[in-house]
């Protein structure tokens, strides 16, 4: 990722942090923001993979697929390839769009839909090899917490704004050298959650320090027999 792209990513993440500032502690930023980021990541992977399966078909955009047989076929392939499945209407971009509906109506209330989607992601893996990996995946993302809003409407407004910020981030999943998810995770940990989890024995080492240590232990060596970190 270029420096310019990194700055754009960090600006969006900082914008989300400002939405939550004063509502929840900095240590809680990680649970909320990373939960939504991972949902977007899974959604984009599903969308790209489904579109690849639709190449040459009459409908080539997954968001426009309504045929039950086609959806079943995509679900079967997705569970084998991705380990989970999302329906077109469950995609991140679709919920973000719904959240931006007419603010005078209740049609932009997405909290219940969002919770249902997160539950469905986990449920779609039941009985598959990936079930254990997705178990309780979003349990730290509490959409009912009064920390982010005293009322359902207030919580919904904050969540919609968060999704809007994230919707502007391109995860560049078709670029094998890009690691937007990793960069986002590292930025959030470094900025807002460096102290989180220490009581549980979790610590964060800045990338710059890791790189220096890696150079020190590999200087003058062409081969390493093993690498061992006693804290892992």
Render 68-136 in DSSP notation, one character per residue. Answer: HHHHHHHHHHHHHHTS----GGGSHHHHHHHHTS-TTSGGG--HHHHHHHHHHHHHHTTTSTTHHHHTT
Contact at 8 Å (CB) between 159 and 143? Answer: yes
Q: What percent of the chain has pLDDT over 70?
A: 85
Q: Kindly report the CA angle at 203 between 129 and 169, in degrees rounded to 5?
A: 65
Task: Provide the pLDDT for residue 199.
Answer: 47
Contact at 8 Å (CB) between 33 and 17? Answer: yes
Question: Biggest alpha carbon distance in the chain?
Answer: 67
Instruction: Match 């989300």 to its residue by tokens.
Output: 16
Task: Provide the pLDDT for residue 178.
Answer: 67
What CA dihedral angle connects 174, 9, 209 and 33, to 10 degrees? -100
Across the range 35-61, mean pLDDT stands at 93
pTM above 0.85, yes or no: no
**pLDDT at 127 exceeding the cut of 80:** yes
DSSP 159-222: HHHHHHHHHT----TT-TT--HHHHHHHHHHHHH-TTTTGGGT-----HHHHHHHHHHHHTT-S
DSSP 31: H
User: Of 1.20.1290.10, 1.20.1260.30, 1.20.1250.20, 3.40.50.300, which CATH number belongs to 3-198?
Assistant: 1.20.1260.30
Rounded distance between C-alpha atoms, residue 6 and residue 205, angstroms = 19
Task: Provide the pLDDT for residue 186.
Answer: 78
Cα-only R_g, the chain: 20
Domain definitions of the chain by residue range? 3-198
3-class SS of residue 223: coil
**pLDDT band (50, 70, 90) for residue 112:** very high
Task: Provide the pLDDT for residue 121.
Answer: 93
User: Looking at the DSSP assignment, which residues form a beta bridge with residue 24?
Assistant: 21
**pLDDT at 214 exceeding the cut of 80:** yes
**pLDDT at 107 exceeding the cut of 90:** no
Contacts 24+ apart (CB under 8 A), 170-177: 171/40, 171/41, 171/44, 172/1, 173/41, 173/44, 173/45, 173/48, 174/48
Q: What percent of the chain has pLDDT over 90?
A: 33
Task: Provide the pLDDT for residue 200.
Answer: 45
Contact at 8 Å (CB) between 79 and 125? Answer: yes
Question: What rounded mean pLDDT belongs to the chain?
Answer: 83
Task: Provide the pLDDT for residue 164.
Answer: 87
Determine phi and psi for 126, rounding to 5 degrees.
Answer: -60, 130
**pLDDT at 120 exceeding the cut of 60:** yes
**pLDDT at 104 exceeding the cut of 90:** no
């Amino acid at each position: 990722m270029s420096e310019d792209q990194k700055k754009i990513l960090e600006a969006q993440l900082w914008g989300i942090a400002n939405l939550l500032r004063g509502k929840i502690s900095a240590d809680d930023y990680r649970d909320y923001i990373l939960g939504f980021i991972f949902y977007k990541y899974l959604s984009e992977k599903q969308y790209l993979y489904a579109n690849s399966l639709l190449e040459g078909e009459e409908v080539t955009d997954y968001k426009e697929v309504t045929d039950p047989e086609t959806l079943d076929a995509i679900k079967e392939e997705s569970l084998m390839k991705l380990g989970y499945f999302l329906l077109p209407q469950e995609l991140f971009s679709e919920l973000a769009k719904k959240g931006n509906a007419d603010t005078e109506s209740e049609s932009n209330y997405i909290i219940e839909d969002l919770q249902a989607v997160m539950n469905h992601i986990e449920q779609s893996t039941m009985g598959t090899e990936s079930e254990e990996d997705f178990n309780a995946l979003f349990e730290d993302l509490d959409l009912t917490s009064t920390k982010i809003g005293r009322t359902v409407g207030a919580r919904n407004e904050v969540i919609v704004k968060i999704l809007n910020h994230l919707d502007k981030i391109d995860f560049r999943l078709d670029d094998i050298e890009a690691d937007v998810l990793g960069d986002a995770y590292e930025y959030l940990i470094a900025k807002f959650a460096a102290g989180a989890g220490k009581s549980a024995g979790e610590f964060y080492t800045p990338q710059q320090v890791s790189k220096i240590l890696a150079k020190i232990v590999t200087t003058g060596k062409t081969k390493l027999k093993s690498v061992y970190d006693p804290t892992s």
